[in-house]
Amino acid sequence: MLTYVIRRVLISIPTIIFISIVVFGLQLLLPGDPALALAGEERDPQVIAELRRMYHLDEPIWRQYLIWIGKVLQGDLGESIRLKVSVGELVAAKLPVTIELAAMAMLIAILIGVPAGIVSAVRKETLIDYGANAIGLAGLSIPNFWLGIMMILLFSVHLGWLPASGFVRPSESLSQNLATLIMPAFVLGTGIAAIFMRHTRSAMLAVLRSDYVRTARAKGLREPRVVYRHALRNAIIPVVTLGAIQFGELMGGAVLTEQIFSIPGFGKLVVDAVFNRDYAVVQGVVLCTGTGFIFLNLCADLIYFLVNPRMRG
């Protein structure tokens, strides 16, 4: 067990190093002189010289990287040019909002996707199965930013049931917090629900054909018991690990969802940073999401290892 954990952690380290190289490399995409691009509208030679000194732009590229990664390892992700606040503080302030949104979206995705996948597999090649598959395919094809607009049109403009935008912290009012997040969380969760549905369906179909399920039926067990106690328990394992992999999808989707519903989270932070040419913030967000993804994958692998007796053996 310990050997597996150590090996798995060690494999993650080079990947994280490469993520940092990719993130650092983003600034090489800036057309022309990076100091001029970072200065934005400001063309004062003193400001440009200061930027050049601050970001060590006169040094060779590998030294620039070593200086940057050295600071990152000490928790210094740089400073926002626009807000004059450290990127680490900004990320720490915005992350809880996005985590709450992502957690609600994931809950909605599981509540819709897993039961739909089970029903679809159990009622294979019936109208229910075809309907669930069609809805699943539509869920993958509808862009969440359009779904968000359509939901605002229905639930806010026409029915007036939910606020069209804004965010209330749970500490201020839990009911208002839920009212502001339910629509964006649903929008964000539908695409992932479709993925869960497809995976649960195929995992259930494979398990329902297996020998031990046939044995359980032959023993005379009732069908719901066979499905829920025997089949689902095994079919759900790969779906659980899929949840961690969908983290990237959630973070990408959150960028657009937060923009549409004006939620002050991680996604809105990166979009605002892009338009203000606040490159340190953009790099900080990409680095944090990439590292977070690796960490969640690591957790998913370890959970898989713990819950799957065959791997422990």
Sign of CA dihedral 29, 247, 73, 274: positive
What the block records as the tokens of 151 is 């939901």
Of 243, 251, 229, 220, nearest to 94 (Cα)? 251
Question: What residues have CB less than 8 Å from 91, skipping those under 6 apart?
Answer: 77, 266, 269, 284, 285, 288
Residue 309: how many other CB atoms lie within 10 Å: 7
- Name which of 111 and 154 has its Cβ closer to other proteins: 154
**Type of residue at 166:** G
Query: 21 burial class (0-12, 13-18, 19+ CB within 10 angstroms)?
Result: exposed
We find the least distance from the C-beta atom of residue 306 to other proteins, in angstroms, to be 23
The binding site for other proteins (CB under 8 A) comprises 14-19, 21-23, 26-27, 29-31, 137-138, 140-143, 145-146, 149-150, 152-153, 157, 247-249, 251-253, 255-256, 259-260, 270-271, 273-275, 277, 279, 282-283, 285-286, 289-291, 293-294, 297
- Name which of 96 and 143 has its Cβ closer to other proteins: 143
What the block records as the tokens of 252 is 């990408």
We find the least distance from the C-beta atom of residue 224 to other proteins, in angstroms, to be 31
We find the least distance from the C-beta atom of residue 144 to other proteins, in angstroms, to be 9
- Name which of 4 and 18 has its Cβ closer to other proteins: 18
Sign of CA dihedral 76, 81, 84, 85: negative
- Name which of 17 and 174 has its Cβ closer to other proteins: 17
- Name which of 111 and 153 has its Cβ closer to other proteins: 153
We find the least distance from the C-beta atom of residue 227 to other proteins, in angstroms, to be 26
We find the least distance from the C-beta atom of residue 302 to other proteins, in angstroms, to be 17
